[in-house]
Structure 1
Amino acid sequence: MTFRRALITGASSGIGTAAALELAEIGCALWITYSGRAAEAAEVAEQCRAAGAPEVHVSQLDLRDGSSIDALIADLTLQWGALHVLVNNGGVCPYTPYDEIDADEWDLVMETNARGTFLLTRAALPLLRAASGDRSVVNISSIAGQVGALQTGLHYAASKGAILALTRSFARHLAGEGIRVNAVTPGPVASAITDQLQGEGRTKLASSIPLGDFGQPADVAWIIAALASERSRFITGATYDVNGGVRID
């Protein structure tokens, strides 16, 4: 039996974990990656198996390191030979004030979030091309990439804006091959990222959300799963906002 095969980066916590569980529940075989949380990633893998994933692999991945990306793609090629879904979720989010960001931290954020999304998507294309039927790339951006940095760092907003541009560009280039590329832009979601905010800053941010509180990772994950599914076969180049009403077009 052939299952849809999905690669999810940054799946050891937050939105990545929730997305992995959603995809497991609809029967996808999964390959999840983590940066530094090996034990947490192993636990997520067990949860995904219990949720219905027919197969789960776990790999460490450094999105800044081309050789790490190449090694992951080599493993995927050996084990699967084809890929139906890529979820680019891995990233970093320092809250450093703009006038304190040095060149090294700028490079860390831009290279992990934007450059990593580009390199991994490009590297995964042979696997996506080898799969039959619907193929889908889902990029996790942020409301910060749409409206600019408020609480998060300016470099984080810049990297997430770049991901939106990459999404539209890849969508245009790959549509003729039947490979769809879409983005999801979460607003404030309870996660390790927003856990960095404490006290008055966290209270102020929560009070600015029209729906009244932070979202949950599962609020974002179901849209990721929907965009990954064959039922979204006519959607590409789109951006889906999940922000509690903070930004309304």
Structure 2
Amino acid sequence: MSIRRALITGASSGIGTAAALELAGEGHALWITYAGRQAEAESVAAQCRAAGAPEVHVTRLDLRDAASVEALVAEVSAQWGSLHVLVNNGGVCPYTAYEDIDIDEWDLVMETNARGTFLLTRAALPLLRQADGDRSVVNISSIAGQVGALQTGLHYAASKGAILALTRSFARHLAPEGIRVNAVTPGPVASAITDQLQGEGRARLASSIPLGDFGQPADVAWIISALASERSRFITGATYDVNGGVRID
């Protein structure tokens, strides 16, 4: 059986790190990206090798920059030639009141989160089409994209809602080719994003979680791994909530 290859953005911390370690443990070759923390990304790569990944590459990526996205895909193509799994996890989340969001910050969030997901998915399609077996894209959205901005910035919620729309749209267009596209919508998870909240704001958020505490990145990573595998061969266009009961439909 051939080695499955996975590309994960924003893998230097949080959910991205947990997803990389989960896929490494299942024997995936990994290509992980980071935005500004090379030392942390290299540390994650070392952990992934120790966890069982047969091959790990690390590349800096600016999701806002189409040239940076295209350069990454060209690098992956030259080294691997194909790709089985794409995890669109990289993103930014400023906690800014909507009255204080200026156009530059709006563009930063929308272009990194929503535009970046679109650019990389589109650019990676030739590699996904070249792979044998199951092919899967997993987009990391957020509960904010479903219910709106509660604690996060309005622009973050808008960008994550856009990712859900992109997920459904790509799923419809790519299903005839056997390429699956799904989304995961984490709620409050212990990470660099929620670490921005302190004091009363953090306590208020914690008290709103029916299961009583923040989730952990590993709580999200196993679902990413499942959606990336052949076990989910009949699932596409779906959204998986991991939110401790904050949103129940």
**Superposition TM-score tier, normalisation by shorter sequence:** over 0.9
Which residue does the alignment assign to 2:27?
A: 27
Which residue does the alignment assign to 2:37?
A: 37
DSSP-derived class of the 1:172 partner:
helix
Matches for 1:163-182 after TM superposition, within 5 Å: 163-182=163-182
Could you tell me how far 1:2 is from its partner in structure 2?
A: 2.1
Which residue does the alignment assign to 1:202?
A: 202
Q: Distance in 2 between matches of 1:119 and 1:241?
A: 24
DSSP-derived class of the 2:136 partner:
strand
Size of the alignment, in residue pairs?
249
Which residue does the alignment assign to 1:188?
A: 188
Q: How much is the aligned-residue C-alpha RMSD, in angstroms?
A: 0.5
Q: Distance in 2 between matches of 1:147 and 1:186?
A: 12
Which residue does the alignment assign to 1:240?
A: 240
Which residue does the alignment assign to 1:70?
A: 70
Q: Distance in 1 between matches of 2:53 and 2:152?
A: 34
Q: Which amino acid aligns with 1:130?
A: Q
Which residue does the alignment assign to 2:118?
A: 118
| Structure 2 residues without counterparts, runs of 5 or longer | none
Could you tell me how far 1:243 is from its partner in structure 2?
A: 0.0
Alignment TM-score, normalising by the size of structure 1: 1.00
Q: Which amino acid aligns with 1:64?
A: R
C-alpha distance after superposition, 1:138-174 (max 9, x if no partner): 0000000000001000000000000000000000000
DSSP-derived class of the 1:87 partner:
strand
List 4+ stretches of structure 1 deviating above 3 A.
none
Q: Which amino acid aligns with 2:236?
A: T
| Structure 1 residues without counterparts, runs of 5 or longer | none
C-alpha distance after superposition, 1:34-72 (max 9, x if no partner): 000000000000000000001000000000001100110
Q: Distance in 1 between matches of 2:31 and 2:232?
A: 21
Which residue does the alignment assign to 2:55?
A: 55
Which residue does the alignment assign to 1:12?
A: 12
Q: Which amino acid aligns with 2:242?
A: V
Which residue does the alignment assign to 1:139?
A: 139
DSSP-derived class of the 2:121 partner:
helix
